């Protein structure tokens, strides 16, 4: 028996990973207590996705409805499966800048302490397993906002002669910058994951993602850009654009593309690695561009307003340079661009969203 332990298993990336690795023959142990509902309200609950996994995977999926901050429970899970655990995918997190500022204690204990619990359990009970951590590009704070950016009609762009013209690399400093409290807690976890690789010899990696997206995202106002934008377009829910004239740029990576990157790492794991990962130059958009794409796909107008004040720690322009990862794992390629992602989000979710409106 080969086991993969996935935290946040009912979330966007966790559920995609569960389906993918179960399809390869793994038994999946999913740890998820629907904290997303606590963070963002009923509309962000992932219960529907957990039920979908249980229905699709049957006995291949074992759900653990517990909190990653509970070290006793985490060690119990790892002790139970021991060396059968071949892979740990840690996606559970508090993912919002704004929410972190409301409750820094919970944000830090979920993001940092929870990660430490999983690393310790892996070290003691499954030291040969690959450990994959979903970090964030917010570890770089607002340093990207100091780049030489040029305002265009619908987006900001970087000076084409700059060294980061094809995307931001891992050599960008994480120091001397405003991170937001969320960024700080994720940095703590990111460094822990690297150190458990270098110091204890575990096979660990940090994937510093931009916008992670896909049709199984429970998008909400504070987190889940493309999914929430499309949901607002379909349902007529008012949407607020915060700062930068709506021209801020994000690269967007489909969860399926991300999981294939995980698989490449799993097949040839390394110790203490960190990679920027995202849609890169292949899959990126500004908010204004995304609004236009939603309009074209749905045939509906988005009810949106503009707020001059940007979110603290928000990036004006972020495009990942995937070059380091692709150099280490040359078989990996992106398959989804933003237009295809939005089309899929719309097709998969529109009926469910309409039913929710009726309720």
Taking only the tens place, the pLDDT of each residue in 52-91 is 999 999 999 999 999 999 999 999 999 999 999 999 999 9
Q: Which is nearest to 50 in space by CA: 80, 89, 8, 22?
A: 8
Q: What distance, in Å, lies between the first and last C-alpha atoms of the chain?
A: 43
Q: For 151-206, how does the pLDDT look when each residue is reduced to its tens digit (9 = 90+)?
A: 999 999 999 999 999 999 999 999 999 988 999 999 999 999 999 999 999 999 99
* Res. 358 pLDDT band, cuts 50 70 90: low
Q: What is the mean pLDDT of residues 301-321?
A: 92
In this structure, the number of other CB atoms found within 10 A of the CB of residue 188 comes to: 17
Q: How far apart are CA 359 and CA 337, in angstroms?
A: 33
pLDDT number for residue 219? 63
Q: 203 pairs with which residues across the strands?
A: 130
**Closest alpha carbon to 170 in 206, 131, 116:** 206
Provide the token pair at 342: 């939005």
Write down the pLDDT at residue 97: 81
Confidence of residue 224 (pLDDT cuts 50, 70, 90): low
Q: What pLDDT is attached to residue 253?
A: 97
Distance from chain centroid for Cα 330? 22
**Torsion angles phi and psi, residue 176, rounded to 5:** 50, 55
Residue 126 has pLDDT above 60, yes or no: yes
pLDDT value, residue 216: 79
Instruction: Look at 2-11, 71-80, 312-321 and tell me which has the smallest mean pLDDT.
Output: 312-321
Read off the CATH number of the domain in which 284 is found. 3.40.50.720
In this prediction, residue 1 has a pLDDT band, given cuts at 50, 70 and 90, of confident
Contacts of 22 (CB under 8 A, 6+ apart): 28, 57, 60, 61
The DSSP output letter for 109 is I
Q: Provide the 8-state DSSP code for 165.
A: T
Instruction: Give the C-alpha distances (Å, rounded to integers) separating 354 from 186, 221, 351.
Output: 35, 18, 5
Q: Which of 150, 118, 144 is nearest to 133 (CA)?
A: 118
Q: Quote the number of domains for the chain.
A: 1
Expressed as residue numbers, the domain containing 212 is 3-358
Q: Which two tokens stand for residue 337?
A: 């661009």
DSSP, collapsed to helix, strand or coil, labels residue 52 as helix
Distance CA 163, CA 140 (A): 16
Interior CA angle at 10 toward 26 and 339, to 5°?
Answer: 100
User: pLDDT at position 291, please?
Assistant: 97
Give the whole-number percent of the chain exceeding pLDDT 90.
Answer: 86
Beta bridge pairs of residue 61: 28
Based on its alpha-carbon atoms, the radius of gyration of the chain, rounded to whole angstroms, reads: 19
pLDDT of residue 88: 98
Tens-digit pLDDT profile for residues 9-48: 999 999 999 999 999 999 999 999 999 898 888 888 899 9
In the structure, what pLDDT confidence band is assigned to residue 275 with cuts at 50, 70 and 90? very high
Identify the pLDDT of residue 142.
93
- Mean of the per-residue pLDDT values of the chain: 94
DSSP string, 271-315: SSEEEEES-TTTSEEEHHHHHHHHHHHHS----EEEESSPPTT--
**Using the 8-state DSSP alphabet, how is residue 320 labeled?**
B
pLDDT (tens digit per residue) in 280-310: 999 999 999 999 999 999 999 999 999 999 8
């Amino acid at each position: 028996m080969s086991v993969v332990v996935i935290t946040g298993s009912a979330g966007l990336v966790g559920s995609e990973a569960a389906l993918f690795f179960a399809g390869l023959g793994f038994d999946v142990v999913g740890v998820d207590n629907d904290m997303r509902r606590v963070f963002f309200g009923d509309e962000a609950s992932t219960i529907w996705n957990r039920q979908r996994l249980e229905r699709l995977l049957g006995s291949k999926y074992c759900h653990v409805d517990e909190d990653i901050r509970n070290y006793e429970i985490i060690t119990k899970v790892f002790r139970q499966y021991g060396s059968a655990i071949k892979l740990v995918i840690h996606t559970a997190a508090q993912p919002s800048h704004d929410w972190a500022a409301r409750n820094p204690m919970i944000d830090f204990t979920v993001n940092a302490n929870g990660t430490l619990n999983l690393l310790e359990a892996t070290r003691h009970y499954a030291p040969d397993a690959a450990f994959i951590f979903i970090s964030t590009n917010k570890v770089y704070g607002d340093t990207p906002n100091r780049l030489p950016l040029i305002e265009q009609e619908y987006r900001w762009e970087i000076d084409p002669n700059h060294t980061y013209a094809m995307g931001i690399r891992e050599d960008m400093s994480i120091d001397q910058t405003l991170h937001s409290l969320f960024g700080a807690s994720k940095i703590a976890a990111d460094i822990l994951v690297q150190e458990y690789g270098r110091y204890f010899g575990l096979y660990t990696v940090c994937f510093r993602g931009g916008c992670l997206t896909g049709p199984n995202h429970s998008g909400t106002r504070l987190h889940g850009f493309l999914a929430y934008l499309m949901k607002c377009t379909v349902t007529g829910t008012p949407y607020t654009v915060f700062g930068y004239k709506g021209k801020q740029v994000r690269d967007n990576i489909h969860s399926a593309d991300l999981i294939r990157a995980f698989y490449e790492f799993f097949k040839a794991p390394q110790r203490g690695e960190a990679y920027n990962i995202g849609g890169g130059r292949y899959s990126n958009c500004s908010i204004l561009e995304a609004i236009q794409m939603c309009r074209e796909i749905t045939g509906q107008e988005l009810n949106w307003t503009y707020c001059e004040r940007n979110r603290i720690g928000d990036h004006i322009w972020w495009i990942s340079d995937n070059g380091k990862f692709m150099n280490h794992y040359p078989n990996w390629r992106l398959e989804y661009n933003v237009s295809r992602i939005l089309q899929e989000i719309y097709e998969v979710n529109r009926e469910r969203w309409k039913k929710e409106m009726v309720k």
